[in-house]
Amino acid sequence: MSALEKLGLAALHRLDPERAHDLSLKALAAGLVPLPGKPVTSDRLRLRLAGLDLPNPVGLAAGYDKNARAVAPLMRAGFGFIELGAATPRAQPGNPRPRLFRLTQDRAIINRFGFNNEGARAMAARLATRPKGIPVGLNIGANKDSADRAADFAKVVRIAGDSADFLTVNISSPNTERLRDLQGAAALAALLDGVMSARNSLTTRPPVFVKIAPDLDETALRDIAAVAREARIDAIIATNTTLSRDGAHDPQTAQAGGLSGAPLFNRSTGILARLYLATEGKIPLIGVGGISTTQQAWDKLQAGATALQLYSALIYQGFSLASRIAQELGERLDQEGLTLSDLTGSAAKDWAQR
């Protein structure tokens, strides 16, 4: 991390978390944040995921740029792919403030945003004008006051699907009441049927991913694996934030919302490994939750991930973390004579038993 990045992070951490979040986006969009310009890549780091060509496996998770306000700068921030949103059919304000909390002692955050966004049409318009480069995906959700939340996902696909390189069905946010009920086998099958039908009507037919919660039992995991295979889902993202507070000790721990960051790492990696075994490695998995070091990225890959996503750690280590992890992953792969596919799932059984 450069001295300038350290100074910038220190300044942001003196502000209210949501104000700091918004200010960092404005600084990015204005070109005030030093960026590498292009992602770290090599023959060992390049991969193909669900038909998408990634220069490296380190991506940006959804939630940072909710309204696609800084797409071009984020494409130059060193990530191998980025995900924006979540987008709902209609704009909505989300939950009342305050709704974002730093757990500095735990290197974590709690959020209860509630899908605050400007709506699918606004995001589609911004995505349509993005430059060429790394894959850019859109996380999709349902309006809080919708009478048919399952139908909302298909609506977003029809509105914005042709503007994104991939679409992520977000049924795992804990901040929209009863949204996680859609992870049940019957509800998920019906929802995905509508999403895939809408996707198949698009000109570009982007791949569809599903993002799951880390708070699932074994039966729910097996059901999701079966439904995803039946629906021909292109990848699963594991995992979203957790309602658990295991491993968190900061005074802010009592806040309601989803916890992400360092305390989530073991829980999310265990879910990832069990999902890899449940799908028999036949569906690509994207590992997210608590990654802040190259060793943790390595662990996620060994647990079953094909690619990775970061978010919470960026709040504490800055955007340079993405390039640093990619660079160090490539160096370690070279040293050990391994490929990314050699790593994926190589320790899934061990992680699943933890």
Q: Give residue 127's identity as a one-letter amino acid code.
A: L
Is 172 considered catalytic here? no
Q: Which two tokens stand for residue 248?
A: 């968190």
Quickly count: other Cβ atoms within 10 Å of residue 204's Cβ. Answer: 10
Q: Which of 173, 260, 292, 323 is catalytic?
A: 173
Alpha-carbon 130 to chain mean position: 20
Q: Contact, 138 vs 160, CB < 8 A?
A: yes
DSSP state at residue 96: P
Gap between the Cα atoms of 74 and 25, Å rounded: 10
Gap between the Cα atoms of 344 and 236, Å rounded: 14
> DSSP assignment of 1-39, as one string?
--HHHHHHHHHHTTS-HHHHHHHHHHHHHTT-S---SS-
Gap between the Cα atoms of 124 and 226, Å rounded: 31
Gap between the Cα atoms of 6 and 116, Å rounded: 29
Cα angle value 311/315/319 (rounded, 5°): 75
Gap between the Cα atoms of 72 and 28, Å rounded: 9
> Residues 6 or more apart from 279 whose CB is under 8 A from it?
225, 228, 229, 236, 285
Which contiguous run of DSSP H or E holds residue 82?
strand 81-87
Q: Contact, 8 vs 321, CB < 8 A?
A: no
Query: Is-cis flag, bond preceding 36, omega within 30?
Result: no
Whole-number Cα distances in Å, 162 to 87, 137, 139: 14, 11, 13
Residues catalogued as catalytic: 173
